[in-house]
Structure 1
Amino acid sequence: MKILSIQSAVAYGHVGNSAAVFPLQRIGVEVMPVYTVNFSNHTGYGAWRGPLIDPADVREVITGIEERGALATTDAVLSGYQGGEGIADVIIDAVSRVKAANPQALYACDPVMGNAKSGCFVAPAIPELLRDRVVPVADIITPNQFELGYLTGTEPDTIESTLASVDAARAMGPSVVLVTSVERPDRAEGTIEMLAVDDEGAWLVATPHLPMKANGSGDVTAALFTAHYVETRDAKLALERTVSSVFDLLHATLDSGERELQLVESQEYYAHPRMQFTANRVR
């Protein structure tokens, strides 16, 4: 499997491509990382150094990959946090080029905007760009519950309203929706859930809620789910594999006492998921 991953990069820590690439490689995926920023560290520290990469330069890198003939063997395009407005056009163009070369390829978009606790933390124009132009060309999207609500103009909270919001998102274009950080009032105490929906049905899985904030965990989640879904075309299995790996990664990070994901130390959890969680059909 080969994935073109268009995301940010950091030298210190693990977010964007610096979170997604290694887990994908560890499960046997050939990754072509294209960087949209090259920062010293993620912006959550409040200070960072390094450049935003001009969208024209990002496009040039993708053109160079195309000139090597690699797009015809690309199985998926993956995108995440978009630091500036211009990158949306580059991503949409890249998806078009990949699908022209390989009509079976899928595009997975992680529509990063924010979360329920922090609100939106991207540039003001990005949410509308994602909603109106990027998400409609995606095959897979991986929003959290807050982002799902923004994309669809709804307020998902119960399982019923979240499923209705997913239906609204799927009507925009994507056929597969993974909703992370699902928090409904009637869930079991001390748990957090994840929901995957495709044409075959909807599946919900619960894990213990770990008391931590882990920058980059959503990037790992989107990457692993994309790869597992592309391989299996089975949303339930892709969900169970992804949740198993990411929970163990987060648990290892919490146990370490470190702020950054213990990405390399947790590599066996990607290669050999323990499959300790079962996803239940909810529709």
Structure 2
Amino acid sequence: MKVLSIQSAVAYGHVGNSAAVFPLQRIGVEVLPVYTVNFSNHTGYGAWRGPLISPDDVREVITGIEERGGLCDIDVVLSGYQGSDGIGDVILDAVARVKKLNPSAVYSCDPVMGNAKSGCFVAPAIPVLLRERVVPQADIITPNQFELGFLTDTEPDTLESTLDSVDAAFAMGPKTVLVTSVERPDRPEGTIEMLAADERGAWIVQTPHLPMKANGSGDVTAALFTAHYRETGSAATALARTSSSVWDLLNNTLASGQRELQLVESQEAYAHPRMQFSVTQVR
């Protein structure tokens, strides 16, 4: 499997491609990372150094890959945080180029906009870009529950309303939806869930909720789920493997006392998921 991953990069810590690439490589996926920024660290620190990479320069990198014949056998285009309309255009152009060369390729979009606690933290134009232009072109989307509601103009909270919101997302174009950070009021205290759905059904997995915030964990989740789903064609299997790997990554990070993901230290969790959480079909 080959993945063209168009995301940010940081030197210190793990977000964007700096979070997604190694776990994918550790499970045997060939990754072609294309950077949209090259920062010293993620912006959650409040200060960082390094350049934004212009949309024209990002496009040039992708064109150079194409000139080497490198887009012909891409199986997945993966994107995360989109900082501007211009980057969105470049990503959609790359998706079109890849699918022209390989019609079986898929586009997986993590529509990063915000979360339930912080609200939207992207520029006002980005949610509109994602909702109107990007998500309709995606085959797989991996929003959190808050982002799913924002995309579909719904208010998912219960299992039933979340499934209704997933159906609304299907109507926009995507064929597969992974919903992270699902928090329904009737779940057991101290737990959190993820839900995956496609045309075959919907499945949910419940894990202990770890008391921490870990920048980059969503990027790892989107990458691993996409790769496992592409490999197996099973949303349930992809959900089980991903939840196992990411929970162990987060638990290892919490135990370390460090702020940044213990990405390398947790590599066995990607290569050999413990499959410690049961997946339940809900539709």
Q: TM-score scaled to structure 1, two decimals?
A: 0.99
**Residue type at the aligned position of 2:207:** T
1:23 aligns with 23
SS at match of 1:228: helix
- Deviation for aligned residue 1:84: 1.9
Shift of 1:268: 0.5
Any gaps of 5 or more consecutive residues in structure 1? none
Q: What SS does the corresponding residue of 1:70 show, helix, strand or coil?
A: coil
**Which residue of structure 2 lines up, in the alignment, with residue 193 of structure 1?**
193
Contact between 1:138 and 1:173, CA under 8 Å: does it hold in 2? yes
Measured after TM superposition, the shift of residue 25 of structure 1 is 0.3
Provide the rounded CA distance (Å) in 2 between the counterparts of 1:173 and 1:68: 31
In the alignment, does 2:168 pair up with 1:177? no
1:37–1:83 contact (8 Å) kept in structure 2:
no
DSSP-derived class of the 1:202 partner: strand
CA distance in 1, matches of 2:38, 2:83: 11
Q: Secondary structure at the match of 1:177?
A: strand
CA deviation after TM superposition for structure 1 residue 85, in Å: 2.0
Indicate the residue corresponding to 2:211 in structure 1: 211
What residue ranges of structure 2 are gaps of 5+ in the alignment?
none
How many residues are aligned here?
283
Q: Partner letter of residue 158 of structure 2? A: T
Q: Distance in 1 between matches of 2:108 and 2:58?
A: 18
Supply the distance in 2 between the matched residues of 1:72 and 1:84 (Cα, whole angstroms).
27
**CA distances 1:75-103 after superposition (whole Å, capped 9, x unpaired):** 00000001222100000000000000000
Number of the residue aligned with 1:49: 49
Residue aligning to 1:77: 77
State the alpha-carbon separation in 2 of the partners of residues 222 and 275 from structure 1.
18
Letter in 1 for 2:53: I
The code of the aligned residue for 1:273 comes to P
1:99 and 2:99 matched: yes
Deviations 1:212-245 (Å, cap 9, x if unpaired)? Answer: 0000000000000000011011000000000000
Cα distance in 2 between the residues matched to 1:280 and 1:142: 19
Q: What CA distance in whole angstroms lies between the structure 2 residues aligned with 1:273 and 1:113? A: 29
The Cα of 1:40 is off from its aligned counterpart by 0.5
Contact 1:27–1:271 under 8 Å retained in 2: yes
> How far apart are 1:71 and its partner, in Å?
1.2
Deviation at residue 72 of structure 1 after TM alignment: 1.4
Matches within 5 A, 1:123-138: 123-138=123-138
Retained in 2: the 8 A contact 1:144–1:181?
yes
Secondary structure, aligned partner of 1:165: helix
Q: 3-state DSSP class of the match of 2:50?
A: coil
The 10-residue stretch of structure 1 (118-127 or 141-150) with the greater mean CA deviation from structure 2:
118-127
Question: CA–CA distance in 1 between the matches of 2:206 and 2:216?
Answer: 20
Quote the residue 2:154 is aligned against: 154
Q: Does 1:282 align with 2:282?
A: yes
Report the counterpart of residue 235 of structure 2 in structure 1. 235
Q: Separation in 2 of the partners of 1:123 and 1:7?
A: 17
Equivalent residue letter for 2:226: T
In the alignment, is the contact (CA less than 8 A) between 1:52 and 1:83 conserved in 2? no
Q: Which amino acid aligns with 2:256?
A: S
Counterpart of 1:13 in structure 2 is: 13
- Offset of 1:162 from its aligned partner? 0.2
TM-score by length of 2: 0.99
Cα drift, residue 183 of structure 1: 0.1
Question: For the residues of structure 2 that align with 1:70 and 1:226, how far apart are their CA atoms?
Answer: 20
Cα distance in 1 for partners of 2:70, 2:37 equals 23
How far apart are 1:189 and its partner, in Å? Answer: 1.3
How far did residue 188 of structure 1 move? 1.3
What code does the residue aligned with 1:241 have? Answer: R
- Could you tell me how far 1:104 is from its partner in structure 2? 0.5
- 2:37 counterpart letter in structure 1: V
TM-superposition CA deviations, 1:243-268 (whole Å, max 9, x none): 00000000000000000000000000
Q: CA RMSD in A?
A: 0.5
Aligned residues: percent identity?
82
Question: Structure 1 residue runs of 4+, over 6 Å off?
Answer: none
Q: How far apart are the structure 2 equivalents of 1:256 and 1:164?
A: 39
User: Contact between 1:114 and 1:122, CA under 8 Å: does it hold in 2?
Assistant: yes
